[in-house]
């Protein structure tokens, strides 16, 4: 495994460009023994407190706190939605409108899937088209809320599932892609000292190299 790409680090937090396929924190059941980002960051002897998560197969920016005070501050930012989160997502099919929003509640179903349901939690996803290909569209996606699998479930709901998604969309079509085409590329927030932080992580080669073939 390649060394972790540290995007930003100070005494309160560390931001990492997580590779696709790596767990954020220790898994359960069959995944209990797998490598995870929290353990790798803690191996240096400094604590790493989880403040949010990225799906295993997504890549990109993820933020950890380095002490309890920063953990409380950053966790509150995520809970109160005072942190800007933007993703790149390559989705199946052509989206004709340049901008859109999915405002549908999400709830958990079987097999680890999330889906739109009347008993779900309020969930809002905004997107803007960056580029259209022959059979796919590259989006910039902004999370207004932060539900599990939110982008994946909302894109599936509007019939444009994220490419390479083993849980959502046509399995045969999804299996043609080497990874989930979802990348967290931007986080914007104010740190515990009130300073504005804008962090960005470029998508890795296993994301970019797929785009010309869409």
Digit-coded pLDDT (tens) for 94-126: 999 999 999 999 999 877 899 999 889 999 999
Please pick, among 55, 57, 92, 165, the residue that the annotation labels catalytic: 55
* Residue 92 known to be catalytic: no
Phi, psi of 37 (to 5 degrees): -65, -40
Closest C-alpha to 106, from 63, 77, 78, 143: 143
Closest C-alpha to 177, from 131, 113, 133, 124: 133
pTM reported for the whole predicted model: 0.93
* Rounded percentage of the chain residues whose pLDDT exceeds 70: 95
| pLDDT at residue 29 tops 60 | no
Q: Which CATH class is domain 5-209?
A: alpha beta
Domain chopping of the chain, boundaries: 5-209
Q: 37 has which bridge partners?
A: none
pLDDT, tens digit (0-9, with 9 covering 90-100), for 155-184: 999 999 999 998 998 888 888 899 999 999
Cβ neighbours of 141 (radius 10 Å): 25
Query: Taking residues 57-72, what's their average pLDDT?
Result: 94
The pLDDT assigned to 175 comes to 87
Longest dimension (CA), the chain: 50
């Amino acid at each position: 495994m390649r060394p972790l790409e540290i995007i930003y680090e100070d005494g309160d937090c560390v931001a990492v460009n997580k590779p696709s396929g790596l767990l954020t924190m220790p898994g359960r059941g069959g995944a209990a023994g797998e490598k995870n980002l929290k353990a790798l960051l803690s191996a240096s002897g400094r604590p790493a407190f989880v403040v949010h998560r990225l799906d295993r197969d997504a890549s990109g920016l993820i933020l950890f706190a380095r002490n309890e005070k920063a953990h409380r501050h950053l966790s509150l930012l995520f809970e109160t939605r005072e942190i800007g989160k933007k993703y790149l997502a390559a989705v199946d099919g052509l989206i004709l409108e340049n901008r859109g929003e999915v405002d549908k509640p999400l709830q958990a179903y079987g097999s680890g899937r999330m889906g739109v349901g009347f008993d779900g939690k309020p969930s809002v996803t905004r997107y803007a088209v960056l580029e259209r290909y022959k059979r796919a569209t590259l989006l910039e996606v902004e999370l207004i809320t932060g539900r599990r699998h939110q982008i994946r479930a909302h894109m599936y709901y509007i019939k444009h599932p994220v490419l390479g998604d083993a849980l959502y969309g046509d399995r045969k079509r999804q299996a043609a892609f080497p990874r989930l085409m979802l990348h967290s590329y931007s986080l914007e927030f104010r740190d515990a000292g009130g300073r504005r932080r804008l962090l960005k992580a470029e998508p890795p080669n296993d994301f970019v190299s797929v785009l010309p073939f869409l």
